[in-house]
Structure 1
Amino acid sequence: MARCPWAGAPGTMRDYHDQEWGRPVSGESAYFERLTLEAFQSGLSWSTILAKRPAFREAFLGFDAERVAALDAADTERLMADARIVRNRRKIEAALTNAAATVALRSSGGLEALVLEHAPQAPPAPRHTGEQQTTSPESTALSKALKRHGYAFVGPTTMFALMEAVGVFDPHLLGCHRRGEVTQ
């Protein structure tokens, strides 16, 4: 079966590719989770984050933005000591900052709506990995919009990965069995 090259071998990455990547999600916690995990992935492999995702979900209270926004300095230290997650102080602090920003954004339509507003008019349709993008004008605009709302660790590359992950557009290569399977 034809797949994007990074998902060729059986295991977690293939399962993620086949069952989750590029499929639309809905709800604040689903968007907040993906935004948080994409930020933690910065500089690391996605397989590392996937392996730690159950622990992230526990440590960050099911990605309930209100509950995460209520965490304090003692919680940051507790998270820094949790070997089951990525222990990077700046990323942990960004997750707490982003939780508060997500709660504040509710009055303006919410995180999900803001992300979806930045969907590309002409989604990419790469034939091979050499044509795949890592940023776009839309991911750059989303990054700037989120920063204006107080978010951290939301650069254009991270936001492009978020847009791929949550199915803002179909990220699969032409020829992949998943290409064209789901649309927003």
Structure 2
Amino acid sequence: MLIAGAAALVIVGGGGTAAFIFLKPKPDAAHADKAHGAKKKKGKDDKAKDDKGKAGGAQVREGPDGVLFYTMPDVVVNMQTADGRPTFLKLKLTLELPDQETVDALDPNMPRLQDMFQTFLRELRPEDLSGSQGSYQLRMEILRRVNLVIAPSKANAVLIEEMLIN
């Protein structure tokens, strides 16, 4: 009985979501053209302002003492478990970088960094990350691997903004 109620709730919720997405009114074509005509054209200076703070899908902001904080896109991996049940790790990482040149070295290497994160993190077990020692070891290992990828540039530190194991 409980399962049937849960299934009905999922079906009704899914139907409501589909109706909301597919049945919402489309914007009027004349209204859309008017809105696009109102936008000013971007020049080189405007583009530079828009790009500041963004680097390959990542956010860059200034920190104290002239360092830059480079917030990476979230990383989600499936982890190893002894009993074989699916366990996921979600990480939000920020790299502390000494200068803009290091930020520039990260962007073209983003596919390598993503690959490194996936291959390394998939081999971890949830118990590897338990406690402050697990977080510290994870931080140091990621820093070592990031510095290998972006050499001769070098990141100062890896900051874990969010770590979720589910």
Q: TM-score normalized by structure 1?
A: 0.33
Q: TM-score normalized by structure 2?
A: 0.36
Which structure is richer in relative contact order (CA contacts within 8 A, separation 6 or more)?
1
Computing the radius of gyration from Cα coordinates, the structure with the larger value is 2
Quick check: which one's strand share is greater? 2
